[in-house]
Amino acid sequence: MSVEFHELEISGVIRETADCTSFELTVPLELREAYRYKAGQHLTFELPWEGFKVTRCYSLSSCPDLGETLKIGVKRVEGGRVSNWMNDNLSVGDTVRASVPEGRFVLKPETRSGAPLFLLAAGSGITPIISLLKSTLTTTKRSITLVYANQDHDSVVYREQIDRLAREHSERLVVHHHYDSDSGYLTCDGVRRHLHDTDIAEFYICGPEPFMELIENTLAEAGVHEELVYIERFVSPIDPDRAQSSPLDVESFEAPDTFSLWLNGRSRSIPYVRGETLLECAQAVGLNPAHSCVSGFCGSCMAHVSTGQVHMRTHEALSERDITRGVALLCQSVPASSEPLELDADSTSFRTASAVKSSYSKRASQLAAAAVFAFMVAGTFVLRLVH
């Protein structure tokens, strides 16, 4: 099963900043069910470009829990084909081809009403973060800290929304803006001064790679458990006319006849067809693991390699830390040895830097965090009674 693309109409164009535009999208009535989504997910767009097609992923800034119109934010990228074209050319009434929503950068039901939440964004990384923010305020009672870094005051995307939410939910939401123009780039010390409850809070991160690396390193130094850190990492695909890599010689790799894939709580044995990716093999037997761009750039199809070896044609959506810890992209992977190969697509959240924990370990960590938070709340209540 390939990625589903459908024609959606542009119903609104909102200039957020000088170089960022929001586009509201109308979904035909017959596709409403297919376009149901969770806060934090994204759409993949397919556009014709000088004889071939290019794809890009853009996060949804709208909130499904508020019934908002489907909306994406697109910020210009220097030399970017699609981002600049969309900002310059799309108008109300135009149509675009977009996939159904995908992505695992979403709130976890186990902790939706418990532990404090940290949302950390830079630049256009605010797009999925504001969707998560609105969803959390609407559906939970969690306390939230938003740290948002930008070049300057005028670069802040969704400023009016953020300011309004901060006013309306002042008892739960604390917003910290950082401007490079005022105090230089954000530092580890600058991040640390906003942290609290690091043993139980959850952390969602989205922004340019240097920003995410800074946040990851700071959280690790602060002792934050990796199971509580979630990362959204997007890299623009290399377009067909710019690709320089030679075709992969799959004949040079040994491969087992079958491989195992944990998906939706079950382990399936899947025949391996030489020359096909693991995702293609899974789809051939009727399975549909999470996937989106199918180019190795969005990370939706991450899985943990439990046993065996794989070779990835490209892995731009992963960091070296991810690869070292056994994270692989199903859409880019082929077996690299004849030993038994087992992958777990259930063990991977959209925390690409810490995707190797088992589902049991992740669940235990979340339950422990919730238990600690409940204990703290109970303790505070008892102290109040005593005094």
Q: In the β-sheet with 117-122, what is the strand arrangement from edge to edge?
A: 173-179, 144-150, 117-122, 202-206, 229-232
State residue 371's pLDDT score: 47
Architecture of domain 109-232+359-386: 3-Layer(aba) Sandwich (3.40)
The domain segmentation of the chain, as residue ranges, is 5-99, 109-232+359-386, 250-354
Q: 250-354 has which CATH code? A: 3.10.20.30
**CA 383 to CA 387: how far, in whole Å?**
6
Residue 20 belongs to what H/E stretch?
strand 20-26
Contact predicate 28/276, CB 8 Å = no
Give the pLDDT confidence score for residue 236 in this predicted structure.
Answer: 59
Residue 159 host element (H or E): helix 159-168
Class of domain 5-99: mainly beta
CB atoms within 10 A of CB 173: 21
Per-residue model confidence (pLDDT) at position 252: 67
Q: For residue 237, give the H/E element and its range.
A: none
Which pairing describes strands 42-49 and 327-329: parallel, antiparallel, or unpaired?
A: unpaired
Residue that is written with structure tokens 């240097």 in the block: 210
pLDDT value, residue 227: 83
Question: What are the per-10-residue average pLDDT scores of the chain (387 residues)?
Answer: 82 97 97 96 89 88 97 91 93 96 86 83 96 96 97 96 97 97 95 94 94 94 90 67 54 86 93 92 91 78 92 81 86 92 76 33 43 45 41
pLDDT at residue 358 in the model: 28
**Token pair of 381, please?**
């209540």
As given in the structure block, the two tokens for residue 266 are: 């079950």
> Which phi and psi (to 5°) does residue 100 adopt?
-70, 160
- Its pTM stands at 0.76
pLDDT of 372:
43
pLDDT at site 247: 53
